[in-house]
């Protein structure tokens, strides 16, 4: 391994300074460079994420006391709808593939760009269009959508709030997601560097590949479903309207046929990031490479067959419930395979507790709690008790935020030096990790109790006996917000003031660490020829053995 002191290897300028066709802002928003598009996604996504965090904070503040605290019930309804829509459709689902997938995929497989660079830019434009539409709906007469992010019929075809722009936004964002998925699959099939066989690909690439298939195969279903809700509102075609013979339960089926696999769109890429980070900081060859790679595909496959576990209380045949419950349990197997392989990789490794690894450790703990409570929810008897309570809220926040969100932060801290060529302040980053982890658990863990005791989700008001737990959760939200604030300030100020990052600050073995930080415009001057797997730490392992 050669660790240069500066971020520059070649004489070529990095992609920020390279000659582009357009100047200034146009050089960004019309750029087809996968790295620039990745950065564009990152910036826009952090804006949306911040808006949704503020909405979440306001919701928690409202729940501090029973009855009215700061807003009216209708406003609270729009808060949880927008929080959900923005977090899910504008941050968690597109997040990892669009930001880190775009930036890292071509680098990791030794390519100069994705297969369809212009389509890639179109995806970002669609993303922006969808995001703006969602924001515009806030200010149109009629008020923001109040249906919850699930747009359940028949309420979503009757309410007078601005459901249409929200539906339109979700549809356009779906298109953006499909195009990204299509692009990545083609890229991985056609543009791997010579010698990069399937089983020499980094595991993040495998995760992106599995994710891309779900994006392509599941997203059209939500597309047609949302179109139908829109047609129902415009013309009254009756397909989902019980007044005309339509069946609202069918809406729920179609919605979850997409939206459950979407959970795996959210979690698979962070799992891939974890598989990247652990071998680097444990200085060990990853344990069970093929199992981790295949388990991504297994999760994508089995995860597509479990959707109706969201609907155990809406009316389904007992056989149906049985099958969906069983399939739900089966998804736990590939997920657990990953967790055990990560732990095994760390076992007897020479672990360096750097910031990315800290976030990964939080990920493993929180994802495990989220995953195991998911099994509780998949059990038919327990499900009926806790359906639509805070237990569900706690569960999916543990998976989506504690898992996918923290995975995103881990990736951000891991690839930050490569993406920006600067290094952030370690002490501030550790502080943000401590606060975010404590705040997160303080916010969501009590909700398991709250739900188990019977507090329904999405309710504006509650009985006085729930207040003490609500207070703990709200205080947790403040600690978490403080942690996020410190994290973002640290990352933003380091862009200017941070020291120049080395080419390979962590000692990674994958290809993105072989190019300058930040990389030059076309990534590789000469396409590398790959002769070994991605995580070859045998020299460290040998060294460790000699020391004994």
Partner 1 sequence: MKTTTANSQPVHGHRDDVGTKIGMWLFLFTELILFGGMFILYAVYRFKHPEEFHLAAKELDTFVGTVNTMILLTSSLTVAMSIAAIGQGRKNLSMALIGTTVLMALAFLVNKYFEWGHKFEHGIYPRSPELLAKPPGEILYFGLYFVMTGLHALHVLIGMAVLVIMMVFIKKGVINRQSYVRLEAGGLYWHLVDIIWIFLFPLFYLIH
Contacting positions for partner 1 (CB under 8 A): 32, 111-113, 115-117, 119, 178, 181-183, 185-186, 189-191, 193-194, 216-217, 219-221, 223-225, 227-228, 231, 235-239, 244-247, 250, 254, 257, 514, 522, 524, 526-531
CB of 9 to partner 1, least distance (A): 12
CB of 542 to partner 1, least distance (A): 19
Nearer to partner 1, 219 or 383 (CB): 219
Nearer to partner 1, 10 or 463 (CB): 10
CB of 209 to partner 1, least distance (A): 12
CB of 203 to partner 1, least distance (A): 19
CB of 76 to partner 1, least distance (A): 32
Q: Give CA separation, 427 vs 64, 200, 431, in Å.
A: 32, 35, 6
CB of 113 to partner 1, least distance (A): 5
Nearer to partner 1, 57 or 119 (CB): 119
Task: Establish how many alpha carbons lie within 13 A of residue 176's alpha carbon, considering only the half-sphere containing its beta carbon.
Answer: 27
Nearer to partner 1, 106 or 131 (CB): 106
Contacts of 440 (CB under 8 A, 6+ apart): 362, 366, 401, 402, 406, 476, 480
Q: Give CA separation, 469 vs 8, 68, 457, 480, in Å.
A: 52, 17, 14, 17
d(CA 327, CA 303): 8
Contacts of 427 (CB under 8 A, 6+ apart): none
Nearer to partner 1, 250 or 379 (CB): 250
d(CA 326, CA 306): 9
Nearer to partner 1, 427 or 531 (CB): 531
Nearer to partner 1, 233 or 425 (CB): 233
CB of 256 to partner 1, least distance (A): 12
CB of 212 to partner 1, least distance (A): 9
Question: Is residue 90 within 8 Å of residue 170, measured between CB atoms?
Answer: no
CB of 240 to partner 1, least distance (A): 9
Question: Is residue 455 within 8 Å of residue 384, measured between CB atoms?
Answer: no
Nearer to partner 1, 307 or 462 (CB): 307
CB of 222 to partner 1, least distance (A): 9
Whether cis (ω within 30° of 0) applies to the bond prior to 154 is yes
Alpha helices for 453-466 (secondary structure H): none
CB of 155 to partner 1, least distance (A): 19
Question: Is residue 429 within 8 Å of residue 487, measured between CB atoms?
Answer: yes
Nearer to partner 1, 436 or 521 (CB): 521
d(CA 310, CA 353): 38
Contacts of 436 (CB under 8 A, 6+ apart): 362, 406, 409, 480, 483, 484, 487
Nearer to partner 1, 193 or 485 (CB): 193
Nearer to partner 1, 21 or 496 (CB): 21
The dihedral sign for the CA sequence 506, 510, 515, 518: negative
d(CA 275, CA 242): 47
Specify which residues 389 forms β-bridges with. Answer: 456
User: What is the 3-class SS of 343-395, one letter each residue?
Assistant: HHHHCCCCCCCCHHHHHHHHHHHHHHHHHHHHHHHHCHHHHHHHCCEHHHHHH
CA 218 from chain center: how many Å? 16
């Amino acid at each position: 391994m050669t660790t240069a002191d500066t971020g520059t290897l070649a004489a070529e300028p990095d992609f920020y300074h390279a000659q582009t066709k357009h100047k200034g802002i146009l050089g960004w928003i019309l750029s087809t460079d996968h790295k620039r598009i990745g950065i564009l996604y990152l910036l826009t996504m952090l804006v949306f994420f911040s808006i949704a965090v503020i909405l979440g904070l306001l919701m928690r503040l409202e729940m501090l006391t029973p009855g009215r605290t700061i807003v009216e019930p209708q406003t609270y309804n729009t808060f949880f709808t927008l929080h959900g829509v923005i977090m899910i459709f504008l941050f968690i689902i597109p997040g990892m593939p669009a930001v880190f997938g775009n930036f890292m995929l071509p680098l990791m497989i030794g390519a100069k760009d994705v297969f369809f660079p212009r389509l890639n830019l179109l995806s970002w434009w669609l993303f922006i269009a969808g995001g703006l539409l969602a924001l515009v709906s806030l200010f149109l007469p009629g008020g923001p959508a109040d249906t919850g992010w699930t747009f359940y019929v028949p309420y979503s075809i009757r309410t007078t709030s601005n459901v249409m722009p929200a539906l339109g936004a979700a549809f356009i964002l779906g298109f953006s997601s499909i195009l990204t998925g299509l692009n990545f699959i083609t890229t991985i099939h056609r543009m791997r560097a010579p010698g990069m066989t399937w089983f020499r690909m980094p595991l993040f690439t495998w995760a992106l590949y599995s994710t891309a298939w779900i994006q392509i195969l599941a997203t059209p279903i939500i597309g047609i479903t949302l179109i139908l809700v829109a047609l129902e509102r415009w013309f009254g075609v009756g397909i989902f309207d019980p007044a005309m013979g339509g069946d609202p339960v069918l809406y729920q089926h179609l919605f979850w046929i997409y939206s459950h696999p979407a959970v795996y769109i959210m979690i698979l890429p962070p799992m891939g990031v974890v598989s990247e980070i652990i071998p680097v900081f444990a200085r060990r060859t990853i344990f069970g490479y093929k199992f981790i790679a295949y388990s991504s595909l297994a999760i994508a496959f089995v995860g597509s067959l479990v959707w109706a576990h969201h609907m155990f209380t809406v009316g389904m045949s007992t056989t149906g419930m049985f099958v969906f419950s069983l399939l739900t349990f089966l998804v736990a197997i590939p997920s657990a395979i990953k967790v055990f392989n990560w732990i095994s990789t760390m076992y007897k490794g020479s672990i360096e507790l750097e910031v990315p690894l800290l976030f990964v450790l939080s990920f493993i703990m929180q994802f495990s709690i989220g995953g195991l409570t998911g099994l509780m929810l998949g059990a038919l008897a327990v499900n009926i008790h806790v359906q639509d309570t805070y237990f569900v809220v706690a569960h999916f926040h543990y998976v989506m935020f504690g898992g996918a969100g923290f995975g995103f932060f881990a990736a951000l801290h891991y690839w930050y030096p490569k993406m920006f060529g600067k290094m952030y302040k370690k002490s501030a980053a550790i502080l943000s990790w401590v606060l975010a982890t404590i705040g997160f658990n303080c916010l969501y863990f009590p909700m398991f109790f709250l739900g188990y005791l019977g507090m329904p989700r999405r309710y504006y008001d509650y009985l006085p006996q729930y207040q003490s737990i609500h207070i703990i959760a709200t205080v947790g939200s403040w600690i978490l917000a403080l942690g996020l604030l410190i994290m973002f300030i640290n990352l933003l100020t380091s862009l200017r003031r941070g020291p120049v990052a080395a080419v390979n600050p962590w000692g990674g073995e994958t290809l993105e660490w072989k190019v300058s930080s930040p990389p030059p415009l076309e990534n590789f001057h000469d396409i590398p020829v790959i002769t070994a797997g991605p995580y070859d730490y045998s020299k460290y392992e040998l060294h460790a053995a000699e020391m004994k």
